[in-house]
Structure 1
Protein backbone atom coordinates (compact mmCIF):
# COMPACT_ATOMS: atom_id res chain seq x y z
CA UNK A 1 0.00 0.00 0.00
CA UNK A 2 1.22 3.58 -0.69
CA UNK A 3 2.46 5.71 2.18
CA UNK A 4 -0.03 8.25 3.51
CA UNK A 5 1.11 11.83 2.81
CA UNK A 6 -0.10 14.15 5.60
CA UNK A 7 0.91 17.34 3.76
CA UNK A 8 -0.95 16.41 0.61
CA UNK A 9 -3.97 15.31 2.66
CA UNK A 10 -4.04 18.64 4.51
CA UNK A 11 -3.87 20.60 1.26
CA UNK A 12 -6.69 18.49 -0.17
CA UNK A 13 -8.69 18.98 3.05
CA UNK A 14 -8.48 22.75 2.61
CA UNK A 15 -9.56 22.44 -1.02
CA UNK A 16 -12.52 20.27 -0.03
CA UNK A 17 -13.65 22.70 2.67
CA UNK A 18 -13.57 25.52 0.09
CA UNK A 19 -15.54 23.54 -2.49
CA UNK A 20 -19.35 23.57 -2.26
CA UNK A 21 -18.82 25.81 0.77
CA UNK A 22 -22.33 27.28 0.71
CA UNK A 23 -23.92 23.83 0.46
CA UNK A 24 -21.70 22.02 2.95
CA UNK A 25 -21.87 25.01 5.30
CA UNK A 26 -25.66 24.83 5.32
CA UNK A 27 -25.61 21.11 6.10
CA UNK A 28 -22.95 21.57 8.78
CA UNK A 29 -24.94 24.38 10.39
CA UNK A 30 -28.12 22.29 10.60
CA UNK A 31 -26.70 18.86 11.45
CA UNK A 32 -23.44 19.64 13.29
CA UNK A 33 -23.91 23.07 14.88
CA UNK A 34 -27.58 23.46 15.83
CA UNK A 35 -28.02 20.14 17.72
CA UNK A 36 -25.02 20.87 19.92
CA UNK A 37 -26.19 24.43 20.49
CA UNK A 38 -29.70 23.25 21.42
CA UNK A 39 -28.34 20.80 24.00
CA UNK A 40 -25.94 23.41 25.40
CA UNK A 41 -28.77 25.93 25.81
CA UNK A 42 -31.73 23.75 26.72
CA UNK A 43 -30.24 20.45 27.89
CA UNK A 44 -29.49 19.49 31.50
CA UNK A 45 -26.74 21.17 33.48
CA UNK A 46 -23.91 19.00 34.75
CA UNK A 47 -23.89 18.39 38.50
CA UNK A 48 -20.65 19.09 40.33
CA UNK A 49 -19.46 16.83 43.19
CA UNK A 50 -19.68 18.41 46.63
CA UNK A 51 -16.50 19.80 48.13
CA UNK A 52 -14.60 17.02 49.90
CA UNK A 53 -16.61 14.26 48.19
CA UNK A 54 -15.04 10.82 48.32
CA UNK A 55 -14.47 8.57 45.29
CA UNK A 56 -17.83 6.80 45.61
CA UNK A 57 -19.68 10.12 45.71
CA UNK A 58 -17.75 11.44 42.71
CA UNK A 59 -18.62 8.30 40.75
CA UNK A 60 -22.27 8.63 41.74
CA UNK A 61 -22.37 12.19 40.38
CA UNK A 62 -20.58 11.06 37.22
CA UNK A 63 -23.11 8.27 36.64
CA UNK A 64 -25.98 10.67 37.26
CA UNK A 65 -24.61 13.13 34.71
CA UNK A 66 -24.00 10.31 32.24
CA UNK A 67 -27.61 9.12 32.47
CA UNK A 68 -28.93 12.67 32.13
CA UNK A 69 -26.86 13.53 29.06
CA UNK A 70 -26.98 10.17 27.25
CA UNK A 71 -30.26 10.74 25.32
CA UNK A 72 -29.05 14.16 24.18
CA UNK A 73 -25.67 12.84 23.08
CA UNK A 74 -27.37 10.04 21.14
CA UNK A 75 -29.53 12.61 19.36
CA UNK A 76 -26.46 14.68 18.46
CA UNK A 77 -24.75 11.54 17.15
CA UNK A 78 -27.70 10.66 14.92
CA UNK A 79 -27.83 14.17 13.47
CA UNK A 80 -24.06 14.09 12.95
CA UNK A 81 -24.28 10.80 11.04
CA UNK A 82 -26.71 12.27 8.51
CA UNK A 83 -24.73 15.49 8.14
CA UNK A 84 -21.43 13.66 7.77
CA UNK A 85 -22.61 11.38 4.97
CA UNK A 86 -24.35 14.24 3.15
CA UNK A 87 -21.23 16.44 3.26
CA UNK A 88 -19.03 13.57 2.14
CA UNK A 89 -21.43 12.81 -0.70
CA UNK A 90 -21.16 16.39 -1.97
CA UNK A 91 -17.37 16.17 -1.86
CA UNK A 92 -16.89 12.66 -3.23
CA UNK A 93 -19.69 12.23 -5.76
CA UNK A 94 -18.30 11.73 -9.28
CA UNK A 95 -21.17 13.74 -10.76
CA UNK A 96 -22.91 16.93 -9.66
CA UNK A 97 -25.05 16.45 -6.56
CA UNK A 98 -27.57 18.81 -4.99
CA UNK A 99 -28.15 19.25 -1.27
CA UNK A 100 -31.45 17.42 -1.58
CA UNK A 101 -29.84 14.48 -3.35
CA UNK A 102 -27.01 14.36 -0.80
CA UNK A 103 -29.46 14.38 2.12
CA UNK A 104 -31.65 11.73 0.50
CA UNK A 105 -28.57 9.60 -0.04
CA UNK A 106 -27.54 10.11 3.60
CA UNK A 107 -30.97 9.09 4.88
CA UNK A 108 -30.95 5.97 2.73
CA UNK A 109 -27.56 5.01 4.16
CA UNK A 110 -28.55 5.98 7.71
CA UNK A 111 -29.30 2.41 8.94
CA UNK A 112 -25.97 1.25 7.52
CA UNK A 113 -24.10 4.05 9.28
CA UNK A 114 -25.83 3.30 12.59
CA UNK A 115 -24.81 -0.34 12.27
CA UNK A 116 -21.26 0.76 11.44
CA UNK A 117 -21.19 2.99 14.53
CA UNK A 118 -22.25 0.07 16.71
CA UNK A 119 -19.75 -2.36 15.19
CA UNK A 120 -16.94 0.19 15.28
CA UNK A 121 -17.80 1.02 18.87
CA UNK A 122 -17.53 -2.64 19.82
CA UNK A 123 -14.20 -2.97 18.03
CA UNK A 124 -12.82 0.19 19.64
CA UNK A 125 -14.14 -0.84 23.03
CA UNK A 126 -12.34 -4.17 22.82
CA UNK A 127 -9.20 -2.40 21.61
CA UNK A 128 -9.19 0.04 24.52
CA UNK A 129 -9.99 -2.72 27.02
CA UNK A 130 -7.01 -4.73 25.83
CA UNK A 131 -4.66 -1.75 25.91
CA UNK A 132 -4.78 1.91 24.94
CA UNK A 133 -2.49 1.43 21.93
CA UNK A 134 -4.71 -1.07 20.02
CA UNK A 135 -7.68 1.23 20.48
CA UNK A 136 -5.82 4.23 19.08
CA UNK A 137 -4.57 2.14 16.15
CA UNK A 138 -8.12 1.07 15.35
CA UNK A 139 -9.20 4.71 15.19
CA UNK A 140 -6.82 5.16 12.28
CA UNK A 141 -7.85 1.96 10.55
CA UNK A 142 -11.57 2.80 10.76
CA UNK A 143 -11.22 6.46 9.74
CA UNK A 144 -12.19 5.88 6.10
CA UNK A 145 -15.41 3.95 6.67
CA UNK A 146 -17.74 6.94 6.23
CA UNK A 147 -16.00 8.22 3.07
CA UNK A 148 -16.16 4.74 1.55
CA UNK A 149 -19.89 4.55 2.29
CA UNK A 150 -20.50 8.04 0.89
CA UNK A 151 -18.45 7.44 -2.25
CA UNK A 152 -19.54 3.94 -3.17
CA UNK A 153 -22.95 3.66 -1.55
CA UNK A 154 -21.99 0.60 0.47
CA UNK A 155 -25.04 -0.75 2.28
CA UNK A 156 -23.25 -3.65 3.97
CA UNK A 157 -21.54 -2.34 7.14
CA UNK A 158 -19.00 -5.18 7.12
CA UNK A 159 -18.05 -4.36 3.54
CA UNK A 160 -17.57 -0.69 4.46
CA UNK A 161 -15.40 -1.56 7.47
CA UNK A 162 -13.42 -3.99 5.34
CA UNK A 163 -12.84 -1.31 2.70
CA UNK A 164 -11.47 1.12 5.28
CA UNK A 165 -9.26 -1.64 6.66
CA UNK A 166 -7.92 -2.39 3.19
CA UNK A 167 -7.24 1.23 2.27
CA UNK A 168 -5.49 2.07 5.56
CA UNK A 169 -3.13 -0.91 5.49
CA UNK A 170 0.29 0.22 6.82
CA UNK A 171 -1.11 3.73 7.32
CA UNK A 172 -3.27 3.36 10.43
CA UNK A 173 -0.89 5.19 12.76
CA UNK A 174 -0.21 8.00 10.27
CA UNK A 175 -3.92 8.70 9.83
CA UNK A 176 -4.56 8.54 13.58
CA UNK A 177 -1.75 10.99 14.38
CA UNK A 178 -2.95 13.37 11.67
CA UNK A 179 -6.47 13.42 13.13
CA UNK A 180 -5.05 13.61 16.65
CA UNK A 181 -2.82 16.60 15.94
CA UNK A 182 -5.60 18.56 14.27
CA UNK A 183 -7.95 17.66 17.11
CA UNK A 184 -5.46 18.86 19.73
CA UNK A 185 -5.08 22.22 17.96
CA UNK A 186 -8.86 22.70 17.85
CA UNK A 187 -9.20 21.60 21.49
CA UNK A 188 -6.55 24.05 22.68
CA UNK A 189 -8.20 26.88 20.75
CA UNK A 190 -11.59 25.94 22.24
CA UNK A 191 -10.17 25.88 25.79
CA UNK A 192 -8.51 29.26 25.36
CA UNK A 193 -11.58 30.93 23.87
CA UNK A 194 -13.88 29.18 26.35
CA UNK A 195 -11.74 30.31 29.26
CA UNK A 196 -11.76 33.92 28.08
CA UNK A 197 -15.53 33.81 27.53
CA UNK A 198 -16.07 32.26 30.96
CA UNK A 199 -14.13 35.05 32.64
CA UNK A 200 -15.81 37.76 30.58
CA UNK A 201 -19.35 36.54 31.29
CA UNK A 202 -18.88 35.66 34.98
CA UNK A 203 -19.62 31.94 34.70
CA UNK A 204 -22.85 30.68 36.22
CA UNK A 205 -25.21 33.34 34.84
CA UNK A 206 -27.77 32.82 32.07
CA UNK A 207 -25.63 34.97 29.79
CA UNK A 208 -22.66 32.74 30.49
CA UNK A 209 -24.62 29.64 29.49
CA UNK A 210 -25.77 31.27 26.26
CA UNK A 211 -22.34 32.50 25.22
CA UNK A 212 -20.45 29.43 26.40
CA UNK A 213 -22.97 27.19 24.64
CA UNK A 214 -22.50 29.16 21.45
CA UNK A 215 -18.70 28.84 21.66
CA UNK A 216 -18.98 25.12 22.43
CA UNK A 217 -21.27 24.52 19.46
CA UNK A 218 -19.03 26.52 17.09
CA UNK A 219 -15.89 24.59 18.02
CA UNK A 220 -17.70 21.23 18.05
CA UNK A 221 -19.09 21.84 14.56
CA UNK A 222 -15.75 23.17 13.30
CA UNK A 223 -13.89 20.17 14.72
CA UNK A 224 -16.34 17.74 13.15
CA UNK A 225 -16.22 19.56 9.81
CA UNK A 226 -12.41 19.53 9.69
CA UNK A 227 -12.30 15.86 10.71
CA UNK A 228 -14.75 14.99 7.93
CA UNK A 229 -12.59 16.86 5.43
CA UNK A 230 -9.45 15.05 6.61
CA UNK A 231 -11.10 11.65 6.33
CA UNK A 232 -12.36 12.53 2.84
CA UNK A 233 -8.89 13.73 1.78
CA UNK A 234 -7.23 10.62 3.18
CA UNK A 235 -9.78 8.46 1.36
CA UNK A 236 -9.26 10.30 -1.92
CA UNK A 237 -5.51 9.92 -1.63
CA UNK A 238 -5.46 6.22 -0.74
CA UNK A 239 -8.36 5.21 -2.99
CA UNK A 240 -6.81 7.04 -5.93
CA UNK A 241 -3.55 5.21 -5.28
CA UNK A 242 -5.41 1.93 -5.64
CA UNK A 243 -7.52 3.08 -8.59
CA UNK A 244 -5.56 5.69 -10.56
CA UNK A 245 -7.52 8.69 -11.91
CA UNK A 246 -10.66 7.61 -10.05
CA UNK A 247 -11.28 11.18 -8.84
CA UNK A 248 -10.11 13.00 -11.95
Structure 2
Protein backbone atom coordinates (compact mmCIF):
# COMPACT_ATOMS: atom_id res chain seq x y z
CA UNK A 1 0.00 0.00 0.00
CA UNK A 2 1.14 3.55 -0.71
CA UNK A 3 2.11 5.75 2.17
CA UNK A 4 0.08 8.91 2.90
CA UNK A 5 1.72 11.44 5.24
CA UNK A 6 -1.42 13.28 6.37
CA UNK A 7 -3.45 10.13 6.86
CA UNK A 8 -0.65 8.58 8.87
CA UNK A 9 -0.25 11.66 11.08
CA UNK A 10 -3.99 11.89 11.71
CA UNK A 11 -4.04 8.19 12.54
CA UNK A 12 -1.18 8.66 15.00
CA UNK A 13 -2.97 11.51 16.79
CA UNK A 14 -6.13 9.39 16.86
CA UNK A 15 -4.21 6.55 18.51
CA UNK A 16 -2.73 8.94 21.05
CA UNK A 17 -6.15 10.26 21.97
CA UNK A 18 -7.89 6.88 22.06
CA UNK A 19 -5.26 5.17 24.23
CA UNK A 20 -4.05 8.11 26.30
CA UNK A 21 -4.82 6.55 29.69
CA UNK A 22 -2.79 3.39 29.04
CA UNK A 23 -0.03 5.28 27.27
CA UNK A 24 0.37 7.85 30.05
CA UNK A 25 0.34 5.16 32.75
CA UNK A 26 3.09 3.11 31.09
CA UNK A 27 5.14 6.09 29.89
CA UNK A 28 5.05 7.78 33.29
CA UNK A 29 6.66 4.83 35.04
CA UNK A 30 8.88 3.33 32.36
CA UNK A 31 9.89 6.31 30.19
CA UNK A 32 9.56 9.55 32.14
CA UNK A 33 10.74 8.37 35.57
CA UNK A 34 13.95 6.61 34.42
CA UNK A 35 14.80 9.60 32.21
CA UNK A 36 14.33 12.02 35.10
CA UNK A 37 16.29 9.90 37.58
CA UNK A 38 19.14 9.41 35.12
CA UNK A 39 19.36 13.15 34.38
CA UNK A 40 19.17 14.00 38.08
CA UNK A 41 21.76 11.57 39.39
CA UNK A 42 24.17 10.89 36.51
CA UNK A 43 26.32 13.92 35.70
CA UNK A 44 26.84 14.61 32.01
CA UNK A 45 30.38 15.07 30.59
CA UNK A 46 31.69 18.62 30.89
CA UNK A 47 32.99 20.01 27.59
CA UNK A 48 34.94 23.24 27.09
CA UNK A 49 34.47 23.36 23.33
CA UNK A 50 38.22 23.12 22.65
CA UNK A 51 38.41 19.33 22.57
CA UNK A 52 39.67 17.54 19.47
CA UNK A 53 38.42 14.11 18.43
CA UNK A 54 40.90 12.31 20.68
CA UNK A 55 39.87 14.47 23.61
CA UNK A 56 36.16 13.86 23.01
CA UNK A 57 36.78 10.13 22.69
CA UNK A 58 38.67 10.09 26.01
CA UNK A 59 35.97 12.11 27.82
CA UNK A 60 33.08 9.99 26.61
CA UNK A 61 34.96 6.74 27.12
CA UNK A 62 35.51 7.70 30.75
CA UNK A 63 31.86 8.76 31.06
CA UNK A 64 30.52 5.45 29.71
CA UNK A 65 32.95 3.42 31.79
CA UNK A 66 31.94 5.22 34.99
CA UNK A 67 28.20 5.03 34.32
CA UNK A 68 27.85 1.81 32.32
CA UNK A 69 25.47 0.16 34.79
CA UNK A 70 23.20 3.22 35.06
CA UNK A 71 23.14 3.70 31.29
CA UNK A 72 22.33 0.04 30.66
CA UNK A 73 19.63 -0.14 33.34
CA UNK A 74 17.96 3.08 32.19
CA UNK A 75 17.94 2.02 28.55
CA UNK A 76 16.54 -1.43 29.36
CA UNK A 77 13.68 0.02 31.42
CA UNK A 78 12.87 2.60 28.73
CA UNK A 79 13.01 -0.06 26.00
CA UNK A 80 10.69 -2.29 27.99
CA UNK A 81 8.25 0.57 28.52
CA UNK A 82 8.33 1.39 24.82
CA UNK A 83 7.53 -2.22 23.92
CA UNK A 84 4.66 -2.29 26.43
CA UNK A 85 3.18 0.79 24.74
CA UNK A 86 3.37 -1.01 21.39
CA UNK A 87 1.41 -3.88 22.94
CA UNK A 88 -1.17 -1.41 24.26
CA UNK A 89 -1.55 0.05 20.74
CA UNK A 90 -1.43 -3.18 18.72
CA UNK A 91 -4.60 -3.51 16.60
CA UNK A 92 -5.03 -7.23 17.30
CA UNK A 93 -5.00 -6.73 21.07
CA UNK A 94 -7.32 -5.19 23.63
CA UNK A 95 -5.11 -5.36 26.70
CA UNK A 96 -5.25 -3.72 30.07
CA UNK A 97 -2.07 -1.97 31.20
CA UNK A 98 -1.11 -4.99 33.30
CA UNK A 99 -1.68 -7.34 30.36
CA UNK A 100 0.40 -5.14 28.08
CA UNK A 101 3.25 -5.13 30.59
CA UNK A 102 3.12 -8.91 30.98
CA UNK A 103 3.01 -9.47 27.22
CA UNK A 104 5.96 -7.11 26.76
CA UNK A 105 7.92 -8.97 29.43
CA UNK A 106 7.40 -12.29 27.65
CA UNK A 107 8.54 -10.87 24.29
CA UNK A 108 11.28 -8.57 25.61
CA UNK A 109 14.26 -10.82 24.89
CA UNK A 110 13.12 -11.40 21.30
CA UNK A 111 12.64 -7.66 20.93
CA UNK A 112 16.17 -6.94 22.18
CA UNK A 113 17.69 -9.48 19.78
CA UNK A 114 15.68 -8.03 16.87
CA UNK A 115 16.85 -4.52 17.81
CA UNK A 116 20.46 -5.72 17.91
CA UNK A 117 20.08 -7.26 14.45
CA UNK A 118 18.50 -4.03 13.17
CA UNK A 119 21.48 -2.10 14.49
CA UNK A 120 23.92 -4.48 12.84
CA UNK A 121 22.10 -4.12 9.51
CA UNK A 122 21.97 -0.32 9.64
CA UNK A 123 25.37 0.41 11.21
CA UNK A 124 27.53 0.02 8.06
CA UNK A 125 25.27 2.42 6.16
CA UNK A 126 25.32 4.94 9.01
CA UNK A 127 29.11 4.83 9.27
CA UNK A 128 29.81 5.07 5.54
CA UNK A 129 27.08 7.25 4.04
CA UNK A 130 24.49 8.03 6.82
CA UNK A 131 21.46 8.21 4.47
CA UNK A 132 21.61 4.50 3.49
CA UNK A 133 21.81 3.65 7.18
CA UNK A 134 18.75 5.78 7.94
CA UNK A 135 16.93 4.19 5.00
CA UNK A 136 17.69 0.70 6.30
CA UNK A 137 16.52 1.72 9.76
CA UNK A 138 13.21 2.96 8.33
CA UNK A 139 12.72 -0.28 6.40
CA UNK A 140 12.99 -2.12 9.74
CA UNK A 141 11.07 0.43 11.82
CA UNK A 142 8.00 -1.80 12.15
CA UNK A 143 9.76 -4.58 14.08
CA UNK A 144 8.38 -3.58 17.54
CA UNK A 145 4.82 -3.25 16.19
CA UNK A 146 5.07 -6.68 14.56
CA UNK A 147 6.35 -8.14 17.84
CA UNK A 148 3.28 -6.71 19.59
CA UNK A 149 0.64 -7.35 16.94
CA UNK A 150 1.66 -10.73 15.56
CA UNK A 151 2.73 -13.97 17.19
CA UNK A 152 6.10 -14.03 15.39
CA UNK A 153 8.98 -14.60 17.81
CA UNK A 154 11.79 -15.33 15.36
CA UNK A 155 14.01 -12.21 15.22
CA UNK A 156 15.05 -12.89 11.62
CA UNK A 157 11.44 -13.25 10.53
CA UNK A 158 10.56 -10.03 12.32
CA UNK A 159 13.11 -8.15 10.22
CA UNK A 160 11.87 -9.87 7.05
CA UNK A 161 8.26 -8.93 7.76
CA UNK A 162 9.13 -5.29 8.39
CA UNK A 163 11.20 -5.22 5.21
CA UNK A 164 8.30 -6.68 3.25
CA UNK A 165 5.69 -4.30 4.69
CA UNK A 166 7.78 -1.20 3.95
CA UNK A 167 8.58 -2.25 0.37
CA UNK A 168 8.43 0.72 -2.08
CA UNK A 169 7.83 3.10 0.85
CA UNK A 170 11.26 3.24 2.48
CA UNK A 171 12.17 6.75 1.35
CA UNK A 172 8.65 8.06 2.06
CA UNK A 173 8.88 6.76 5.62
CA UNK A 174 12.40 8.18 5.94
CA UNK A 175 11.27 11.66 4.90
CA UNK A 176 8.25 11.50 7.20
CA UNK A 177 10.34 10.45 10.22
CA UNK A 178 13.02 13.04 9.42
CA UNK A 179 10.42 15.82 9.32
CA UNK A 180 9.01 14.74 12.68
CA UNK A 181 12.49 14.31 14.17
CA UNK A 182 13.70 17.74 13.02
CA UNK A 183 10.56 19.58 14.15
CA UNK A 184 10.48 17.63 17.41
CA UNK A 185 14.16 18.25 18.15
CA UNK A 186 13.74 21.99 17.54
CA UNK A 187 10.64 22.09 19.75
CA UNK A 188 12.37 20.18 22.56
CA UNK A 189 15.43 22.46 22.34
CA UNK A 190 13.29 25.60 22.45
CA UNK A 191 11.33 24.38 25.49
CA UNK A 192 14.54 23.47 27.30
CA UNK A 193 16.16 26.80 26.41
CA UNK A 194 13.14 28.80 27.60
CA UNK A 195 13.03 26.76 30.80
CA UNK A 196 16.73 27.36 31.40
CA UNK A 197 16.37 31.11 30.88
CA UNK A 198 13.27 31.28 33.08
CA UNK A 199 14.85 29.30 35.91
CA UNK A 200 18.02 31.38 35.59
CA UNK A 201 16.07 34.62 35.95
CA UNK A 202 14.08 33.35 38.94
CA UNK A 203 17.16 32.02 40.76
CA UNK A 204 19.47 34.87 39.85
CA UNK A 205 21.55 32.77 37.52
CA UNK A 206 22.10 29.92 39.97
CA UNK A 207 19.75 27.59 38.14
CA UNK A 208 17.55 24.82 39.48
CA UNK A 209 18.67 21.50 37.97
CA UNK A 210 15.64 19.52 39.15
CA UNK A 211 13.16 21.77 37.32
CA UNK A 212 15.30 21.77 34.18
CA UNK A 213 15.67 17.96 34.30
CA UNK A 214 11.92 17.59 34.96
CA UNK A 215 10.99 19.64 31.90
CA UNK A 216 13.60 17.88 29.76
CA UNK A 217 12.24 14.46 30.83
CA UNK A 218 8.65 15.55 30.11
CA UNK A 219 9.32 16.88 26.62
CA UNK A 220 11.65 13.98 25.82
CA UNK A 221 9.01 11.46 26.85
CA UNK A 222 6.35 13.30 24.82
CA UNK A 223 8.62 13.22 21.76
CA UNK A 224 9.23 9.49 22.18
CA UNK A 225 5.49 8.86 22.47
CA UNK A 226 4.86 10.76 19.24
CA UNK A 227 7.44 8.61 17.43
CA UNK A 228 5.83 5.47 18.89
CA UNK A 229 2.27 6.28 17.80
CA UNK A 230 3.57 7.38 14.40
CA UNK A 231 5.30 4.02 13.98
CA UNK A 232 2.09 2.17 14.85
CA UNK A 233 0.14 4.40 12.47
CA UNK A 234 2.61 3.58 9.67
CA UNK A 235 2.03 -0.12 10.37
CA UNK A 236 -1.74 0.31 10.28
CA UNK A 237 -1.58 2.20 7.01
CA UNK A 238 0.71 -0.28 5.28
CA UNK A 239 -1.21 -3.35 6.49
CA UNK A 240 -4.69 -1.88 6.05
CA UNK A 241 -5.60 -2.85 9.61
CA UNK A 242 -7.81 -0.75 11.85
CA UNK A 243 -6.78 0.44 15.26
CA UNK A 244 -8.37 -1.25 18.26
CA UNK A 245 -9.90 1.30 20.64
Residues 40-59 of structure 1 aligned to structure 2 (within 5 Å)? 40-49=39-48, 52-59=50-57
Match of 2:37?
38
Is residue 2:85 matched to residue 1:87? yes
Give the 3 Å change call, closer, same or farther, for CA 151–134 of structure 1 in structure 2.
same
CA contact (8 A) 2:196 2:207 kept: no
List runs of 5+ in structure 1 lacking aligned partners: none
CA contact (8 A) 1:19 1:91 kept: no
Q: Distance between the aligned counterparts of 1:204 and 1:160, measured in 2?
A: 53
Q: Distance between the aligned counterparts of 1:53 and 1:165, measured in 2?
A: 41
Match of 1:178?
176
Is residue 2:46 matched to residue 1:63? no
Match of 2:199?
201
TM-score by length of 2: 0.90
Q: Distance between the aligned counterparts of 1:183 and 1:93, measured in 2?
A: 25
Give the 3 Å change call, closer, same or farther, for CA 54–95 of structure 1 in structure 2.
closer
Q: How many residues align?
A: 243
Match of 1:215?
215
List runs of 5+ in structure 2 lacking aligned partners: none
Match of 2:106?
108
**Displacement, 1:245?**
6.8
Give the 3 Å change call, closer, same or farther, for CA 54–132 of structure 1 in structure 2.
closer
1:150-200 Cα distance to aligned partner (Å, 9 max, x none): 000321111111110000001111112211211211111111111122222
For residue 125 of structure 1, the aligned residue among 119, 123, 129 is: 123
**Displacement, 1:211?**
1.5
CA contact (8 A) 1:186 1:219 kept: no
1:10-40 Cα distance to aligned partner (Å, 9 max, x none): 0100010011211111001111111100001
SS of the residue aligned with 1:135? helix
